[in-house]
Amino acid sequence: MSRFEKSTIMLKIAVLGTGTVGDTVGSKLIELGHSVMMGSRTANNEKALAFVSKHKERASAGTFKDAANYGEMIFNCTSGAGSLAALEMAGAENLNRKVIVDIANSLDFSNGMPPSLLYCNTSSLGEEIQKAYPMAMVVKTLNTMWCGVMVNPEMINDGDHNVFMSGNDGDAKNHVKEILKSFGWKESNIIDLGDIKTARGTEMYLPLWLSIYGSEKMGAFNIKVIK
C-alpha cells in the first residue's frame, strides 16, 4: 500500500511563493477542495493576504516556516533563484518525510537575455533540493509550461499534450500523479522520466521554451511527444 493513502482525500498543502505561479496553483488546489497556506518571507505579505481574501475558505497565509509546518505536501512555487533560501527558512524539520512538488526553474536574468540557468548541465534545482533535504521526497514536475496550462491542460488541444515527472520515490510520484490528474491531466500524458537526475532535462528545456514563447508570442502552448 502506498505510504500516501491520503491521495484521494483533501490535503493541507503549503504553497511556497506568492507570485503568479503560487497564486494560480494555490487557487486550483483550493478549488479542488484542499486547504492551502501560502508561505512567504513575512507573515503579512500583501499578495498572500490578497490570496486569502480572494478565497475566504480554506486559504491562509504565513511565513515559509508556518506554511511548511502546516502542509502535508509542499509546492515549491518560489522563483528558482530563491528556492533554496526559501526552503532553508521553511526548515528541514517541516520538510522531512513530506513530498516537495518542485515546479520552479532557476532562471537567472542578471546577465541579460537569453537568461541562463543557475543549476544546469551537471545538476538541477530539483537535485539540489533533494540533496539539501534527503529526508524529503522531491518530485519535479509542471516546470515545462506556463502556469495557466499547468492547472488547466484542457485549455489547449483537449488536454492532449505532456507533463513530465522526475523523482526518486515511486510512491511520491504516484501521489503527485493523482494531483496532476485532478488538475485535468490524462494519465497517459504524464511521462515519468525516472529519478531526480532527469530533472536536468526538464529544467534545461527552459531556454527552448523561452524561444518558442518568443516566436509564438503567447504562453498557452506545450509540447507533445509524437511517436
| Residues in contact with a second copy by the rule CB under 8 A | 111, 114, 116-117, 120-122, 156-157, 160-161, 164, 166, 191-194, 197-198, 200-202, 204-212, 214-216, 218, 220-227
Nearest CB to a second copy, comparing residues 91 and 194: 194
Nearest CB to a second copy, comparing residues 93 and 216: 216
In the complex, least distance from residue 71 CB atom to a second copy, rounded to whole angstroms: 29
Cα–Cα distance for residue pair 76/151, rounded to 1 Å: 15
Instruction: Return the H-helix or E-strand segment holding 64.
Output: helix 64-70
In the complex, least distance from residue 36 CB atom to a second copy, rounded to whole angstroms: 29
C-alpha cell at 226: 509524437
Cα–Cα distance for residue pair 131/115, rounded to 1 Å: 25
In the complex, least distance from residue 20 CB atom to a second copy, rounded to whole angstroms: 20
Task: Name the phi and psi angles at 200, rounded to 5.
Answer: -55, -40
Give yes or no for a contact between 102 and 124, defined as CB atoms under 8 angstroms apart. Answer: no
Nearest CB to a second copy, comparing residues 79 and 205: 205
C-alpha cell at 183: 488538475
Nearest CB to a second copy, comparing residues 55 and 197: 197
Cα–Cα distance for residue pair 196/215, rounded to 1 Å: 30
In the complex, least distance from residue 14 CB atom to a second copy, rounded to whole angstroms: 28
In the complex, least distance from residue 185 CB atom to a second copy, rounded to whole angstroms: 13
As to burial, measured by CB atoms within 10 angstroms (0-12 exposed, 13-18 middle, 19+ buried), residue 109 is exposed
Nearest CB to a second copy, comparing residues 63 and 130: 130
